[in-house]
Amino acid sequence: MISTEVLDVLQCPTCLSGSLSLGAGRRPELICEACEVHYPIIDGIPDLVVQQPVPQQASYRTETLTNAIAGIFDYVAPVLSMAIWRCSPLLYVDLENRALGRANGGIFLEAPIGTGVTLSPVIAPYHDVCIIGVDKSWKMLHQAAKRFRNVDARVQLIRADYERLPLKSAAVQSLQSINGLHVFTDRLATLKEFRRCIADGGHLSGSALVRAQEEVADVFLERYERYGIYPMLRSPEFLIQEMAAVPFEDIHFSTHGAVMFFTSQAPDSQAAESPEPKAANA
């Protein structure tokens, strides 16, 4: 059952109204009272992907790959991270812990959530945080559902497009995107959507695979791009330029092997209007 807290921050991805409600029929579903679109709830996971009259031809095969590896992802990911990307998996767990803390008892959004392998070890202390996990892959979401089934935490999984998140504006206090930016077809549009969902003064953090850091990793990334799996990033500097264009402020990043970790903050509009000068970062 979807909690009232989650339902209050959802919006219809089709007409963008905030009038979603639980249906009263035999099959569980969410119904938009404004445009009357019905969204099925399958195994407790709402499918809030906007249905196109004519299915669009996918440019990349990212979703196909994630569906294919979902069952073995928890075993493959650490091996790839250590052997190819040259990055300790523990760094991801630490990033998750800090991102959850920045939610400060509000809404925490993970997009994409994958199987939840990096999130599950750190959520136990955060009983006051409402956690929403978004992914486009059904198989990844089903693996995550198995993982969180017996976890004492409030985790709501949702299937949705990253460029059209079914969340009201400024609803999220902390948004985490672990190895997500390099899989988004339109990164700039997705970053703008992230910014729309993050409250003023809220935080965006995460990681992405980048080039020109590890020779072995570059070989793999070249193959991924050649076969149309990922729309690859080029370098850490390229990602920073995209993030700065949204805009975000206080962007900090570090690279560990072929993985770039970043943290940033959504500008506080009230502080921006204040005549008082802001203190410089140390």
Tell me which of 234 and 81 has the higher pLDDT: 81
pLDDT at res. 109: 98
Q: What is the pLDDT of residues 216-264, one digit of tens each?
A: 999 999 888 887 777 777 889 888 888 889 989 999 999 999 999 999 9
pTM of the predicted structure, to 2 decimals: 0.90
Window from 55-59, 75-79, 128-132 with minimum mean pLDDT: 55-59
Tell me which of 93 and 270 has the higher pLDDT: 93
* The three-state (H, E, C) secondary structure of 114-159, written as one string: CCCCCCHHHCCCCCCCEEEEEECCHHHHHHHHHHHCCCCCCEEEEE
Cα(145)–Cα(155) distance, rounded to whole angstroms?
Answer: 9
The structure tokens 């959507």 sit at: 193
Handedness of CA 250, 255, 256, 259 (dihedral sign): positive
Across all residues in the chain, what is the average pLDDT?
A: 89
- Give the up-direction half-sphere exposure of residue 191: CA atoms within 13 A in the CB hemisphere: 20
- Give the up-direction half-sphere exposure of residue 89: CA atoms within 13 A in the CB hemisphere: 14
Cα(266)–Cα(247) distance, rounded to whole angstroms?
Answer: 8
Closest by CA position to 46, among listed 9, 88, 74, 94: 9
Tell me which CATH code domain 59-273 carries.
3.40.50.150
Which helix (H) or strand (E) is 198 found in, with range? Answer: strand 198-209
Cα(23)–Cα(48) distance, rounded to whole angstroms?
Answer: 14
| Cβ atoms < 10 Å from Cβ of 128 | 10
Length of the chain: 282
Q: What residues pair up with 207 in beta bridges, in sequence order?
A: 261
DSSP state of 164: G
Q: Are 106 and 183 in contact (CB under 8 A)?
A: no
Q: What is the mean pLDDT of residues 166-194?
A: 94
Exposure letters 203-212 (e unless 16+ CB within 10 A, then b) = bbbbbbbbbe
Dihedral angle, C-alpha 14, 206, 173, 167, nearest 10 °: 10
Tokens of 131: 């956690």
Q: What is the pLDDT of residues 34-49, one digit of tens each?
A: 999 999 999 999 999 9
Q: What is the pLDDT of residues 112-164, one digit of tens each?
A: 999 999 999 999 899 999 999 999 999 999 999 999 987 766 899 999 999 99
pLDDT beyond 60 at 280: no
Window from 13-22, 175-184, 267-276 with minimum mean pLDDT: 267-276
**Residue extents of the structural domains in the chain:** 59-273
Tokens of 66: 């994630």
Q: Are 165 and 138 in contact (CB under 8 A)?
A: no
